[in-house]
A and B are shown apart, each in its own frame.
Chain A
Amino acid sequence: MEEIKKGGIFAIPELQNVRINIGEIIEEEEEWEPMGPHPMPRIATLRDWDFKLLNRYKPFYAPLCDMCCLCTYGKCDLTGNKKGACGIRMDAQQGRIVLLACLIGCSAHCAHGRHLLHDMINKFGRDVPIDFGPKVNIEAPLTRLVCGIKPKTIGDYDKVFSYIEEQIVQLADALHTGQEGSYMDFESKTLHMGMLDSLSKEAADILQIACYGMPTSFAGDGPDVPLVDVGIGTIDTNKPVIIVIGHNVPPAADIGVYLTENRLDDKVELGGICCTSIDTTRVYNKAKVVSALGRQLRVLRAGIADVVVIDEQCIRADVLELCQHTHSPMIATNDKAMHGLVDRTDDDPDKIVDDLVSGRVLGVVILEPDQVGEVAVRTALQVDKKRKGLSYILSDAEFTRYVNDCIQCGSCTLACPNGLRIGKANKSAAAGNVKPLADLFDICVGCGRCEQVCKKHIPIVDVVTKAAYPQLKAEKGKMRVGRGPVWDSEIRDVGAPLVLGTIPGIIAPIGCGNYPNGTKDAWLIVKEFAERNYIVTLTGCMAIDCALWKDEEGKTLYEAHHGGFDAGGVLNIGSCVSNAHIHDAAIKVASIFAGRPLRGNYEEIADYILSRVGACGVAWGAMSQKAASIATGFNRLGVPAVVGPHGVKYRRAFMGRPDIKEDWTLIDATDGSKVYVEPGPQDLLVACETVEEAMPMMAKLCIRPSDTDRGRSIKLTHYIDLSLKYLNTYPPDWHLFVRTASDLPIATRNELLKKLEDEQSWKIDWKTKKIVEGPIRAYNPSFNPTNLERLIRRKK
């Protein structure tokens, strides 16, 4: 008997057509850590933890639609928290819709991961080791934490995905009419979905790191991983150009392999949009990042691509129409996004290339990633010749005609998510000043809704692109390649300063490009916090967008800052799925620094993170359902997130009420005593109107009850300073975070003590410069905060 395929398929030479498939072989498990209380939690397992969060951070709802139209009883008008025909109230209906959004988001990450697992097992077998080098011993913190599994090979992820998939189905069932009726329970389920989402992301990134050799901690890898080109201006359009769009990297990776093997890597440009572009740069060092999600429409309309290759997620639904307009053949590579094209997976590549080049077909589906590279590259080489000399940027005459056609009716403004005054800019351009139009380019989120309503059929997106074309050609930034996991050794170095507060926090800019005021805000956020010695960990579109801007010396933030997980670092962790490593960093602080057991122990670790790890996510342009499930996953783990103003359309937030003292009761695990604490973190999910407002908010949300006095004084310094800088005023609540005089910044201590005396009527002993009366609580350096009674060591 001989094994003919890895994974246990055997043939018996004497018996033709007989195959023996040996399924799972259960090996004796290594004793790596005793199992914790909650391995593979089900819907209700962590409900008590969720309710602890939800009672402090009560769900807040702002309906985007006052009706329910999910069943044939409806439509039901739920305005004013009325009940619908099925008995559901508006608040529960909002919880239900948020659960639905997170279901979509989590399913995207899970299905992406499962798809990768299939492809990777098919290509490499089940036994690819999960080994991230000498500096990453805890290879899969979320997998260990949630599932109680220490994965050794990629095949071990079968069990992980099976668990996630079962939970997703159970949670989806709760959405049906006549199931859940409590908004609190809908939110508990949503938090469960968020946790599954984070686990799915970790699994997906681990699979691609393990199989493609993406950067980890082997010699020569991070933290200062190489820089790659970012921006539309970095693409050499004199060469054939392939643009990949989406999130699932195997087809793009195959293009890189084909280019390398055929020595075409200097002859063909491989660029990408959105997370596939980030992951392509992790496997193919000549790949470029053309743009984040927000510019997809404009990149495609500009006709840069000779071939467009899509995989999954965040692809425009009209991508094929856009490709047709610019004579760019399209290859769809994933069964989740086939756009009506014919599946040619089993066809002869020569025939496929011929059909694409001749224009007989607009595009094809190729579902086997290893067949994509050849077809994409050969097609690009030939299509490039046919498209030479064609331009898809408006001519000067066309531009002039269109801006003069505009009647300033305002329809575009009413259709624009950001309410941009396009007509006014057109009028300016018609009078000879194109700057107002060019300035719209970065603020525009690139949706194209304006064109749908234009009474004069002006291609507004093209008009804005034309006005901004000179600056687009000059758009050349640098981004650090996604570095993957934070090293255990880095956690050892910064664990104490993070928990004690002397590194003021981790700021995690993540997510999409639905910004209220352009990409520069992404840059501003990163710059402000990196320069203040926070650790800034980026993923996804914000990692790309912040690379488009430069300082006075012409350096991007990735060039100006180191890439290590330490004070002042600016880390590109990677794509959307890589942001699980930010969860992982917080988990590793609890595990490595504090020695808390991980295995099946989610509740205790989340409790630790909530009270001690000063981290705050920021999804300034959050748009997708994935962003909703990502934020919710952070929230269940005890990490707050700030969203931009469009984020209020997610309908739900989690905010605390500092004025309700009882909400801020913690237990001192040392003796079981109850302690009223300052509201840190005050919110788990909150939106800010402007980036100026978001700056002090993020600093505030890094404050934790466990901060030492030195740490608190550093955090307060930044909170107050950012408020003075951007709001021109002291934060009205800064005094809530003062426990003792040594919590106050040294440089302004006397001034602040005086303010406490004058404005808050606190009693100050001016001889000793100590606070005698006033704070919510006295500073206790041995305070051991927890929300979990079971962690009390010795009851009073």
Chain B
Amino acid sequence: MVMEIPFDVANIAGPEIGGTAPPEVIGSYITSAKRPLLVVGSELLRGDFFLDIAIEIGKKGIPIAATGHSMKGFVEKEYTENVTYYNLHELTNCLRDPNWKGLDGGGNYDFVIFYGILYYYASQMLSCIKNFATEPLMRAVSIDQYYHPNARMSFTNISPRMEEEYKDMLRKLVGSIKR
């Protein structure tokens, strides 16, 4: 079996590391969530396509926490219906607490999807979730172009040369989320 290398090559946390999966598998994994949350970061702003993907997921009824300065993009796209600005550090601080009421007051989430977030920042927040959001278990996946060992599931590292392939993967992922 060939192991994927973390995007930041030395980012090997320990014995429990997540696997890589194709978009359809991650999509159906997301479908299995009862209360999923899409957490997006500032790297989303590098192109309309990536922002549109987030909006498509949002339109499937998955609320969006816009971290970093990604909120700017949603406002410009005039899609703010289920989008809330949150600092990622503060958000993760809430996610680790089973008693948190969530962005809508309906309670904490059982599933988080990280997308468009600076690699090393995302990795540390995924580490917090992996280590401390365990009772009840919160599942975390990443759909960035990086392998994230602290997520339960993520894509492989995808070279910038493969950007079109990555876009295809995102399209497939969105298509496979059934809600």
Contacts and interface: CB of A to CB of B under 8 A. Distances in A.
Interface in B7-44: 7-9, 13-16, 41-42
B13 A65 contact: yes
Interface string A320-353: 0000000000000000000000000000000000
Interface string B103-132: 000000000000001111100110110111
A64 B68 CA distance: 21
A727 B83 CA distance: 13
A414 interface: yes
13 contacts: A60-B93, A62-B131, A65-B14, A66-B15, A80-B131, A80-B134, A682-B90, A686-B87, A689-B68, A727-B69, A729-B71, A729-B80, A731-B85
Interface string A72-95: 000001111100000000110000
A276 B167 CA distance: 49
Nearest to B84: A732
B150 to A, nearest CB: 9
A29 interface: no
B68 A688 contact: yes
A728 B76 contact: yes
Interface string A395-437: 0000000000000101000110101010010000000000000
B85 A648 contact: no
Interface string B78-91: 00100011111110
Interface string A700-734: 00000000000000000000000000111101100
A78 B16 CA distance: 10
Given A66-B14, A77-B15, A727-B85, A692 B131 contact: no
Given A66-B14, A659-B101, A693 B124 contact: no
A726 B89 contact: no
B160 A655 contact: no
Contacts of A763: none
A521 to B, nearest CB: 13
B156 interface: no
Nearest to B14: A66
Contact of A689 (B9, B16, B93, B118): B118
B16 to A, nearest CB: 4
A422 to B, nearest CB: 11
Contacts of A62: 92, 124-125, 127-128, 131
Most buried by B among A415, A655, A729: A729
A596 interface: no
A443 to B, nearest CB: 13
Contact of A728 (B42, B75, B125): B75
Contact of A80 (B16, B68, B96): B16
A415 B10 CA distance: 8
B67 interface: yes
Given A61-B128, A62-B128, A63-B131, A648 B120 contact: yes
Q: On chain A, which size bracket covers the interface?
A: 35 or more
A774 to B, nearest CB: 17
A697 interface: yes
Contact of A516 (B90, B96, B118, B159): B118
A648 B16 contact: no
B88 A417 contact: no
Contact of B8 (A67, A81, A417): A417
Interface in A635-659: 645-646, 648-649, 651, 653, 655, 657, 659
Contact of A655 (B8, B42, B93, B120): B93
A720 to B, nearest CB: 13
A65 to B, nearest CB: 6
Contacts of A649: 120, 124
A410 B118 contact: no
B100 interface: yes
A634 to B, nearest CB: 17
Most buried by B among A58, A79, A657: A79
B66 to A, nearest CB: 8
B41 to A, nearest CB: 6
A693 B15 contact: no
A63 B96 CA distance: 13
Given A64-B124, A90-B131, A729-B85, A77 B94 contact: no
B5 interface: yes
B70 to A, nearest CB: 9
A453 B10 CA distance: 12
B176 interface: no
A683 interface: yes
A414 B157 contact: yes
Interface of A: 58, 60-67, 77-81, 90-91, 408, 410, 414-415, 417, 419, 421, 424, 453, 516, 645-646, 648-649, 651, 653, 655, 657, 659, 682-683, 686-690, 692-693, 697, 726-729, 731-732
Contacts of B127: 62-64, 66
B160 A66 contact: no
Contacts of B69: 689-690, 692-693, 726-727
B130 A79 contact: yes
Contacts of B42: 689-690, 692-693
B16 A77 contact: yes
A690 B15 contact: no
A751 to B, nearest CB: 17
Contacts of B71: 727-729
A60 B128 contact: yes
B7 A419 contact: yes
B29 to A, nearest CB: 20
B27 to A, nearest CB: 26
B174 to A, nearest CB: 24
Most buried by B among A64, A686, A693: A693
Nearest to A419: B119
Nearest to B94: A657
A414 B87 contact: no
Contacts of A683: 89-90
Contacts of B7: 414, 419
Contacts of A78: 14, 131
A222 B173 CA distance: 61
B92 A60 contact: yes
Given A61-B128, A688-B68, 7 more contacts: A63-B13, A63-B131, A689-B69, A689-B118, A690-B42, A690-B118, A726-B72
Contacts of A81: 131-132, 134
Given A65-B14, A659-B100, A732-B85, A648 B68 contact: no
A616 to B, nearest CB: 14
For the complex of A and B, the 10 pairs showing the least CB-CB separation, nearest first, are A66-B14, A689-B68, A692-B69, A648-B124, A62-B124, A728-B72, A62-B128, A728-B75, A645-B121, A414-B9
A61 B72 CA distance: 29
Most buried by B among A417, A646, A655: A655
A689 B40 CA distance: 11
B131 A61 contact: yes
Contacts of B41: 689
A655 B9 contact: no
Contacts of A60: 89, 92-93, 96, 128
A486 B149 CA distance: 48
Nearest to B119: A419
A682 B87 CA distance: 12
A732 B101 CA distance: 16
A653 B93 CA distance: 9
Contacts of A419: 7-8, 119
A78 B72 CA distance: 39
A645 B119 CA distance: 10
Contacts of A689: 41-42, 67-69, 88, 117-118, 121
B154 to A, nearest CB: 15
Contacts of A64: 13, 124, 127
Contacts of A80: 16, 130-131, 134
A79 B15 contact: yes
Nearest to B88: A689
B132 A690 contact: no
Nearest to A82: B131
